[in-house]
Structure 1
Amino acid sequence: MTWLEALVLGVVQGLTEMLPISSSGHLRIVSELFFGRDAGASFTAVTQLGTEAAVLIYFAKDIFRLVGTWFRGFGNAAVRKTQDYRLAWYVIIGTIPISVLGLLFKEQIRTSGRNLWVVGTTLVVFGLVLGAAELYGRQKRSVEQMTLKDGLIMGCAQAMALVPGVSRSGGTITAGLFIGLNREAATRYSFLLAIPAVVAAGIFSLPDVFERAGANAPSIAQMIVATVVAFAIGYVTIAWLLKFVAKHSVYVFVWYRVVLGLFVLAMLSSGYISAT
């Protein structure tokens, strides 16, 4: 892997991980369009550690409160009645679907799931689903009004993001809007829900990314720089997105996904890029 490739992909990861447009899909597309090869699922998982570090820092106050409340709840019945205690459990339980499916379909995710025909199609299809959620969702409830059922539904939606092109935040925000959460609540919970799964996936992928054979394997220095770049840009993107969804619809992301997906499918049909 060249330094230019590592830097570009770090920037792409930072810009797209938090937005409902699929960071893994963008990394796959950019890798193929500009560098003629796939950086790999392991590279994606490791650079996501940078963007998740941004989430940890941005939401540090919320995270410490939820973790502290969760631990205190084991010995305090009054704490177990609080919304923070329940929300902590929603995050834990909502992480189960992606953890189980990620382990069961690990090889397919790393191989056939990265086919650009799949990426282009899911960008379009799930972009339209996001648009439907924006159009028909009631958007009346806050994070404080979430239930266990909501957490499970959004957890299952997050699991679909194992397929590049679906988008982790896109899937969970879509589900959140459909079940009546407002945009800011769906986005905030989406970020919190992603932390356990993404951190675990990144840590488990660290050995794989350096053991890959071939010229495209990144050096340790390139991997570190790409992850740091993803962190810095990701932090700024979090702040921007939360402010944006508080006042604007998500239709801009819907149209972007559809246009990009159709572009990828057109490039594949013309033979300009390879699907694998």
Structure 2
Amino acid sequence: MLLMFYVGKIKEYKYTPGERFEVTPEMKNEFDRDGFILVRGLFTKEEIDKLYKGLQLGNIIKHAFNLPDGEKMNSKMVVWNHPGNDYTGRLGRCRRLVDTTEKLLGGEVYHYHTKVNMKEPHTGGAFQWHQDYGYWYKNALLFPDLLSVMVAIHRSDKGNGCLKVLRGSHKLGRIDHIRMGGQNGAEPERLAEAKKILEEIYVELDPGDGIFFHCNVLHSSAQNHSDRKRWVIIPCYNKMDNDPYADHHHARATKLHKVEDEDLIKCNEFDDLTGKWFMDPSIDKTIIASKVNENVDSSEEAPVNNA
């Protein structure tokens, strides 16, 4: 069962654990209009606690890298391209995410990649205003038929650098992006004009809350100057009929084997990372990154994407 209610100007949905998650025509219309839908309690406290426990073991986090924000702070990130059979892989394959994504995008999808973004207390860097398709366009994707699902692991609010989105900005189409630190950011003049007419929303999330957002939605987040962590997990999906026309550093169309929602909490596999294909940032020419505890010169000229 899915309940809908309002808080301020943001329409929210509430997921009821144990019941099938259904995308209503209203939800689909909202996604098409605004570029996102916000779901409270998408994952239970027990499910998120188990996820965090698995991440703390370090087998996944050891693949993390630093992403400079151009303002002297870094966020840590780890990215894997195939879901795998561990707990994080079950999360990325559960019907709660995949079925919903397929209804919102209008067709079969595959797992493009999942990332964990980690903003540590007092040091976690910002993410510049950008569209995900501003990066992914360079990965030989012809159509913007992708979305991401950001799920909070810790409380995410204005104090520790929560997500911000421009409502309806996916309708702008792909905007040119330029280098900003180790990242790509939306072209400033066009961004400034878009912000004059589109509503900027702070997406504050409790652990387990999730937001599904289109790959052309402009979004950003501020630095974390608080004494609290802000970790999120973000599975990303692409439509099967949007297979890239060339190989690159993310997955090409690969059949996604869904798991039932109730199977997630039953999974106790945290060590088997077989087949996940962790991304090496040195081969991703859309960013400039470094290994954790390794410095990077964020003023370095960006290499040309060769995906």
Q: Tell me if both proteins adopt one fold, taking TM over 0.5 as the criterion.
A: no
TM-score, structure 1 length as denominator?
0.29
Greater RCO, 1 or 2 (C-alpha within 8 Å, sep 6+): 1
TM-score normalised by L of structure 2:
0.27
- The structure richer in strand per residue is 2
